[in-house]
Structure 1
Amino acid sequence: MTQDILALAGDFPTLSREAWLALVDKALKGAPFEKKMVTKTHEGFSIQPLYTRADWPSTGDPSGFPGVMPFTRGGTAAGAVLHGWDVRQEHAHPDPAAANAQILTDLERGASSVTLRFDAAGRAGFDSDDAEAADLAGVEGMMIASLDDLDTALAGVFLDGAVVGLQAGAAFEPAAALLAALWARRQIAPAAALGAFNADPLGTLAATGSLPMSATRALSRLGALAAHTARSYPQATAVMVDGAPYHDGGANEVQTLAAVLSTGVAYLRAMEAAGLGIDEAAAQMVFSLPLDADIFLGVAKLRAARRLWARVLEASGASEPSRAMRLHATTARRVLTRRDPWVNMLRGTVSCFAGAVGGADSIAVAPFDAALGVATDFSRRIARNVQVILLEECNLGRVNDPAGGSWYVETLTDRLAREAWSAFQGLEAEGGMVAALESGALAGRIAATWDDRRKAIAKRKDPLTGVSEFPNLAEAPVATAPVDLAALRQAATTRLSAARWDGVAPGDFAAAIEAVGTGATLGALARALGDGAALRVPAVVPHVLAEDFEALRDASDDWLAAHGQRPKIFLANLGPVAQHTARATFAKNFFEAGGIEAVAGAGFDEAADCVAAWRDSGAKVAILCSSDGLYETKAEDMARALKAAGVSRLYLAGAPGERRALYDAAGVDAYIQAGSDVLGVLGDLHAHLGLAVEGSAR
């Protein structure tokens, strides 16, 4: 019996790249290939429209196999195939009791681990009732200052069954002591305790520009914490290297990876100084990388990170199994919008997909309302179920490194790894991460990158759906979880003052755990474990991509509240619908991205009718919208009539070409088209109409 073998595409001739390029050139009709077909990234990469086997070696694949050097394809041979990835949920409700209800719900309905974000007071090393932290208590995190507070937040949580991660900023050691003391209170065997203390003092220094101790002291305390963790809690980790402080500041992916590598090296040295061997030190580290809405770049970023860290550890003398990076992925905060926040569901889905395909060990998807305030039950449910669906219904973890072998992804991974390694070497040549932060050099480079990205956003080269593109001025506000901060602060003051600790200040982590058991608070431990030498450096200022457009929308909302209506622009549409619709639609989206309501007029043939409709609209400004052909016959007369009637600023939708001088003379003040500086035009119009723009929300 014979079996026919189906040869896909076997009857078609093999085409060369040159033949394909010839067809493309024909389709472009003389337009430049580089301009029309090649995409430039903020890393300086040119993304080609087509990748072939010529772009990646077909033999001796440099990415290797999962679970072995260079670990590009995964830290373990099986990846997420056997057990999936760790579905993590971050919690930041100020009230520990309310947070506990949310934590239990998440763990019961799909999450497998949680992260507790301490409030701004706790992250700075203050108790919730400290006078120096009066405006920080309950801000962007949980009010946890004592063992009882943490016990309340984690009531009913099996601490030997679910990993509890901490985000405690500069107070990483006091927060770790609270969790370790809770393990002791709950009688969790040290060998069974699950947790991630997530000490990252350099990340805190980058994000805030300050530490309540010297960098030397902070690294020494990190090393001591890691040494104690390695000896006492074999299933816990002490250190996290977080890329978010740099990424949130506007860094591109090369800069983010370089900062992460340099930080990791600084932490390795600190742990070795504390007595840990290189393999032991590597085992204490987890890396966290934020992911934007670019799937391919996100996948390549995670793959490149594993390859780079394996190279660092190889050079440091670590054994091959110890070189596998433990990798956590999160939704990048900079992509989340306050306007049309429903779109954030899609952004979270994209980042989760990239994290899963890129081989992250754990993933946290941000709730869609995270940029607005405290997440609701509904938004947390959606964030949680995004992961559950991708994991259990889409079976996304069933294939290990599904992007492996893709000529595009492999090429992008390689380029990203090489450029990041070079940038990392540059940081090390400057003296390492501490020196780069203290000098402000890193913050300056990231700020320059943000300026370039900001210009691309302003011109909508980097579009933001629901914000700079397709805005909805009539959208209903999204309610977040209600929080009475004043009541929570008063309750915390009463709770802490009733049990104010007056014991002996601990000198090391073991003593700190014991002190917590006798009533020591986070603030007391922070004072005792620091060295009193506050450090100040230029911060990596955080940004969100939508901040400039959202500032314009905020100003529009203020105008609406003060005047009962939004600022308006009249769409002076010329001729029949078929002639003006395209540019009228473009103009409406253009101006409403800045909160300027577009009032559409009918297709006008006579200037008098257009002027009358403009007067009825209540707008002070107007824009001519039609085809180039009708502009030639009607634009000048319409412009003169509108300006004579009192239009204070007149725009024209489209490029004026050779007729610009004529249109200018008729009264057209400005032109909008694809590639215009949308933000600049809108900001100028806001100033013209008298709207006050306070700046970004952050």
Structure 2
Amino acid sequence: MKQKNFPVHSIEDWEEAVKQSLKGRGISTKDTYENIALKPLYTVEDIDQTKIEQIPGTGFHTRGFDELGRKQYGWKIAQQIKKSSWEDLYPMLQNFMQRGQETIVFDVDQVDDFDQINFFDLKGIEFRKVPLFLPTKNHFKGLLEKLLRHPEKENINGFVGTDIISRKIAKGDIVNLDDRELNEWIIQIKQADNEFPKLKTILIDTAPYHNAGANAIQEIAIALAESIFYIESLKDEQWEPERIAEKLVFHFSIGANFFMEIAKLRAFRRLWSTVANAYQLPKEYQHVTTSAETSSLTKSILDPYVNLLRAGNEAFAAVIGGIDFLHVAAFDEAYAESNEFSARIARNIQWILREEAHLSKVIDPAGGSYYIESLTNEIASKAWELFQLIDAKGGIIDVLKSDWIQDEINQVLEKRQNAIATGKQSLIGTNVYVNLAEPITFPAEFHKHNANTSVNRLSEPFERLRKKSYQLEQMGVSPHAGMICLGPLKDHKARADFATGFLASGGIKATWSKECMNIDDMQTFMRETNYSYYCVCGNDEVYQLFLGKYETWFSKNNRKPIIDIVGNITTELFSQLKNKGISGSINKNQNRIEKLTALLSLWEVE
């Protein structure tokens, strides 16, 4: 065996193997929301090996800021606790600190009784050893005032801060250069620097842009543009760039595209190093803290345990990409406050990645991958181009004022929403593989403090449909469809399965007929079920066979329910069927939201 070698195969060999496997269909590229054409196979020819960084902590830091790769223990586990009451929150935080939490972190803005927050309540936590991680939109000044009263204030380290640009844009507002808020923020940054020299206070938060639909390229370009704004603003206060860089924390949301998110973080470090070099920052000042949270955009209240898998995938990408702090969303975060169970499971995702997958012991696991290195290069190139365009248009404030960058992000959001609505992108348990037996919690008013923020969960249109069908059931009107299965199982199963799943994503249950071999079988099934809506399922040949018989049956039937045909059939055949009494169709190219909304109106009328 030691004398044997694997044979070397060319791209053409792989393409031929794929064609045989796919029965003649060739391989093709796949376009992403970043307008990057992903190839199905990457080879050494896709990268310039002379330009790949070999050692972390060198060059443009693509492989990490630390010379030895990761820190000894990897990233910090920063599970953000969400509670509306401080009385409920602080004992929970102390409990979590004993069970794997590594930072003092909670959602400051969700605490309704902010005045009751008292860091003296956190018994047994040494601020010298445990870092803070407290991003906030509304209480930056208040947090600093509370920390000033703490006896260990000289030992306080970690991060407390706000991003006034993304905070205001999330509420539909824009920072003004002579804004009182901006001046107050600068005063608070300077005060914090004097009182808490070890504390980082300047946040660049791209999560609002991500949750509004932005792609990876837009997130990086905006992060860089915001960093330029803050550096220049504080330079006017006689701060040196290296002093400002020491206070920076970049925060990202991590989405569902695993390899894209890894490459996003790697490309960001490369481009930030480019900015740092432009400001002539010494190498030791180029290391900035990066934190991440799993995406809100991808989460659903439908089949919520699937959120565990989504969060695990996103956390995995964040760790491989090389972050310093990580929050993994609990599976119920979209509709409920933190509880012991959901928070523990989310926290343990990180412990599994660290202790069982040993990801804290590997230096840049993605380094050298033809695919990821190529993707990193392409993202970096496109993000730098967009950053330069933002700069040419006057910087981040000017492009926000003109609505240009918002329009760019909205275009990406529309593509995402359309892909979900048409089934081109799957949300398991939401638009495919729906489990109608799964109990659903429809929140009334959760996250009141976020009522004006731009979080567009992709599942929300389907959630509204399911809520509508649930309300109809509560009123005694059960949305139910009959599947008229034409011919033997092999002739109708594929389309009947598709239609059943299609309807289930709107909360409409399906009942299959037996194998209908003639019009009498159809009539018997419809008479026994007496539904308002039916789907005819079969292959094109069966549809043709039954074509001449529909009209006779419809002419004799006084009750005329809505009947759709299932499948991407020819326009000519559909026209003929429609003339015989078929109302419409269900097929893969449809906007499911529009179709299901129209169908549910049938039962709403009832």
Q: What is aligned with 2:51?
A: 61
Instruction: Compute the displacement of 1:88 (Å).
Output: 0.7
What SS is found at the alignment partner of 1:68?
coil
Q: Choose the corresponding residue for 1:319, options 282, 288, 296.
A: 282
Q: Choose the corresponding residue for 2:499, options 580, 587, 608.
A: 587
Change (3 A) 1:577 1:29: closer
Q: Choose the corresponding residue for 1:556, options 453, 456, 469.
A: 469
Q: Choose the corresponding residue for 1:16, options 7, 10, 32.
A: 10
Q: Choose the corresponding residue for 2:131, options 139, 163, 170.
A: 163
Instruction: Compute the displacement of 1:635 (Å).
Output: 5.2
What SS is found at the alignment partner of 2:117?
helix
Check whether the contact 1:67–1:75 (CA below 8 A) recurs between aligned residues.
yes
Check whether the contact 2:34–2:217 (CA below 8 A) recurs between aligned residues.
yes
Q: What is aligned with 1:574?
A: 486
Instruction: Compute the displacement of 1:275 (Å).
Output: 2.7
Q: What is aligned with 2:32?
A: 41
Change (3 A) 1:484 1:680: closer
Output the amino acid matched with 1:168: T
Output the amino acid matched with 2:473: L
Q: Choose the corresponding residue for 1:364, options 312, 327, 344.
A: 327
Q: What is aligned with 1:650?
A: 563
Instruction: Compute the displacement of 1:227 (Å).
Output: 3.1
Q: What is aligned with 1:188?
A: 152
Q: What is aligned with 2:141?
A: 173
What SS is found at the alignment partner of 2:78?
strand
Is residue 199 from structure 1 mapped to residue 162 from structure 2 by the alignment?
A: yes
Q: What is aligned with 2:586?
A: 672
What SS is found at the alignment partner of 1:571?
strand
Q: Alpha-carbon deviations, 1:620-660, whole Å to 9, x = none?
A: 11101123332232355357636845343211111222522
Output the amino acid matched with 2:36: F
Answer with 347-356 or 610-619: which moved more.
Answer: 610-619
What SS is found at the alignment partner of 2:585?
strand
Change (3 A) 1:480 1:153: farther
Question: How do 1:72-111 and structure 2 match up within 5 A?
Answer: 72-80=62-70, 82-111=72-101
The whole-number CA distance in structure 1 between the counterparts of 2:434 and 2:425 is 15
Instruction: Compute the displacement of 1:37 (Å).
Output: 2.6
Q: What is aligned with 2:42?
A: 51
Check whether the contact 1:291–1:354 (CA below 8 A) recurs between aligned residues.
yes
Q: Choose the corresponding residue for 2:264, options 301, 315, 318.
A: 301
Q: Choose the corresponding residue for 1:546, options 459, 479, 486.
A: 459
Q: Choose the corresponding residue for 2:576, options 648, 656, 662.
A: 662
Report how many aligned residue pairs link the two structures. Answer: 602
The whole-number CA distance in structure 2 between the counterparts of 1:457 and 1:427 is 30
The whole-number CA distance in structure 2 between the counterparts of 1:413 and 1:45 is 11
What SS is found at the alignment partner of 1:622?
strand
Answer with 86-95 or 476-485: which moved more.
Answer: 476-485
How does the TM-score come out when normalised to structure 2?
0.93
Q: Alpha-carbon deviations, 1:414-465, whole Å to 9, x = none?
A: 1111111111111112211112222222222211221122111111111111
Output the amino acid matched with 1:45: I
Instruction: Compute the displacement of 1:62 (Å).
Output: 3.2
Check whether the contact 1:172–1:198 (CA below 8 A) recurs between aligned residues.
yes
The whole-number CA distance in structure 1 between the counterparts of 2:551 and 2:430 is 30
Q: Alpha-carbon deviations, 1:567-595, whole Å to 9, x = none?
A: 12111112233332222111110011011
Check whether the contact 1:572–1:610 (CA below 8 A) recurs between aligned residues.
yes
Instruction: Compute the displacement of 1:273 (Å).
Output: 2.2
Output the amino acid matched with 1:272: K
Check whether the contact 1:295–1:350 (CA below 8 A) recurs between aligned residues.
yes
Instruction: Compute the displacement of 1:257 (Å).
Output: 1.3
Q: Alpha-carbon deviations, 1:550-607, whole Å to 9, x = none?
A: 1111111121122x24312111112233332222111110011011221222222232
The whole-number CA distance in structure 2 between the counterparts of 1:223 and 1:662 is 71
The whole-number CA distance in structure 1 between the counterparts of 2:81 and 2:548 is 60
The whole-number CA distance in structure 2 between the counterparts of 1:448 and 1:93 is 34
Q: What is aligned with 1:536?
A: none
Q: What is aligned with 1:142?
A: 111
Check whether the contact 1:300–1:358 (CA below 8 A) recurs between aligned residues.
yes
Change (3 A) 1:103 1:608: same
Check whether the contact 2:263–2:321 (CA below 8 A) recurs between aligned residues.
yes
Change (3 A) 1:170 1:98: closer
Check whether the contact 2:480–2:508 (CA below 8 A) recurs between aligned residues.
yes
The whole-number CA distance in structure 1 between the counterparts of 2:71 and 2:522 is 65
Check whether the contact 2:53–2:63 (CA below 8 A) recurs between aligned residues.
yes
Check whether the contact 1:71–1:310 (CA below 8 A) recurs between aligned residues.
yes
Check whether the contact 2:135–2:159 (CA below 8 A) recurs between aligned residues.
no
Identity of aligned residues (%): 27
Change (3 A) 1:224 1:7: farther
Is residue 630 from structure 1 mapped to residue 542 from structure 2 by the alignment?
A: yes
What SS is found at the alignment partner of 2:534?
strand
Q: Alpha-carbon deviations, 1:72-109, whole Å to 9, x = none?
A: 11111223362121011112200101111221222111
What SS is found at the alignment partner of 1:113?
coil
How does the TM-score come out when normalised to structure 1?
0.81
Output the amino acid matched with 2:544: E
The whole-number CA distance in structure 2 between the counterparts of 1:405 and 1:230 is 40
Q: Alpha-carbon deviations, 1:183-235, whole Å to 9, x = none?
A: x33x1051x21231122100101111237987643333333333333343232
Instruction: Compute the displacement of 1:685 (Å).
Output: 1.9
The whole-number CA distance in structure 2 between the counterparts of 1:215 and 1:574 is 71
Change (3 A) 1:175 1:621: same
Change (3 A) 1:307 1:473: same
The whole-number CA distance in structure 2 between the counterparts of 1:472 and 1:15 is 44
